[in-house]
Amino acid sequence: MSNRNLAGKKDGSSGDAVDRSDAFSKALASTDNPRAILELFEKVDASNPKPEDLATFRQLLRERRELWEVAGDAAALAISRMVSAINAQRSVKESMQAGVEAIRDDLGYERAPMLEKLLIEQAAVCWLRMYLVDTAYTHNMKGSLTPAQGAYWERRLSTVQDRYLRAIETLARVRRLMRPVPVQVNIGAQQINRVEAASSE
Amino acid sequence: MGWEKRGEREYFYRKVRIGGRVRSEYIGTGETATLIAKYAAILREQRGLEAWEHNRQRAEQAEIDGQIAELQEIVSLLTKAVLLTEGYHTHKRQWRRRREQQEPSRQEGRQ
């Protein structure tokens, strides 16, 4: 993850101009006070955020489900677009959808908290993209291609493979961070194991 | 490839590149040349259709890649937001829990 804050500015920068990403703008546009939410993002992303700002923002993430739904909708749209773009019979397209659902199940979607659900959706989208590009790559490599076309397909396959690996790594990293870790606490002569969140990657 | 008129008759020529220069190569005249010219036109149209289809697929794939990139951007922002509110921060490109949130467990250990 980059060191830029959520608004796109480097840490410590000041000024009124906000360089928001289009995706983030869309997420904010679904709320009734996007400017306030953005300002809160910036406070939370500062080097020493105030505890009250962190608490407020945590509450905001819990209450503003539309921020999460934008991501869920984006994932569903990407999958729908990929499946509809396939030039194949309906049964093949349905098997693609089933494959995506199997990936979600394998990654524990049903029991996962909200953030992990999004990361699992992202991984499933990247998996489907990789599968389709790999299929097209294999098909095209059987025919005669110019060196430029061959290099194009090699680059495409490499890109989608990297994207899928990064999605899986991010899911694993967040799970590791958020997973409670048993901590041994000594009170007097007694040794007690207490469960706390993980401290670092 | 193209027809060139010499007097009253038409002759069919093909353009070829030899050593960096373009030269005209005589193909023929009459009915044979007409058939060759039609075949060349069909090949050109086929290549044009293939190129159009190739470009259409590339544009479609680029659009899908754009949607996936947008999804990744939103998920990345939300991930960062959650980790920040849960007391994590980045240090040398790694996520770490803030020191003040670790201290209570150390204090308990000293009791």
Interface confidence, given as ipTM, is 0.72
Q: Give yes or no for residue A9 having a pLDDT over 60.
A: no
- Quick: pLDDT tens for B73-102: 888 888 888 888 888 888 888 888 877 544
Q: What Rg do the C-alpha atoms of chain B give, in angstroms? A: 35
B71/A21 touch (CB, cutoff 8 Å), yes or no: no
SS3 (DSSP) at A5:
coil
- Quick: pLDDT tens for A32-47: 666 777 777 777 777 7
- pLDDT over 70, % of chain A: 74
Q: Which residues of chain B have pLDDT under 70?
A: 100-111
Cβ count near A156 (within 10 Å): 19
Nearest-by-Cβ selection for B95 from A55, A67, A201: A201
Cβ count near A127 (within 10 Å): 22
DSSP lists the bridge partners of residue B5 as B10
B90 → chain A, closest CA residue? A3
A58/B73 touch (CB, cutoff 8 Å), yes or no: no
- B-side interface with A, Cβ within 8 Å? 60-61, 63-64, 67-68, 70-90, 93-97, 102, 105, 108-109, 111
Q: How far apart are CA B28 and CA B33, in angstroms?
A: 5
Half-sphere exposure of A180 (CA within 13 A, CB side): 7
Q: Which of A108, A123, A132, A33 is nearest to A71 (CA)?
A: A123
A81/B77 touch (CB, cutoff 8 Å), yes or no: no
- CB contacts, 8 Å: A71 with chain B: 71, 74-75, 78
SS3 (DSSP) at A16:
coil
Chain centroid, CA A119 distance in Å: 4
Q: Which of B63, B78, B80, B88 to mutate to test the interface with A (most CBs of A within 10 A)?
A: B78
B82/A49 touch (CB, cutoff 8 Å), yes or no: no
A68/B78 touch (CB, cutoff 8 Å), yes or no: yes
**How much is the pLDDT for A17?**
35
Q: Which of B78, A188, A127 is nearest to B86 (CA)?
A: B78
Phi, psi of A2 (to 5 degrees): -80, 170
SS3 (DSSP) at A31:
coil
Q: Which residues are CB-contacts of B9 (< 8 A; sequence separation ≥ 6)?
A: B29
How close does chain B come to A74, measured CA to CA in Å?
6
What is the edge-to-edge ordering of all strands in the sheet holding B2-6?
B2-6, B9-18, B21-29
**How much is the pLDDT for A195?**
57
Cβ count near B88 (within 10 Å): 24
Please give the average per-residue pLDDT across A177-189, as a whole number.
72
A27 inside 8 A of chain B by CB: yes
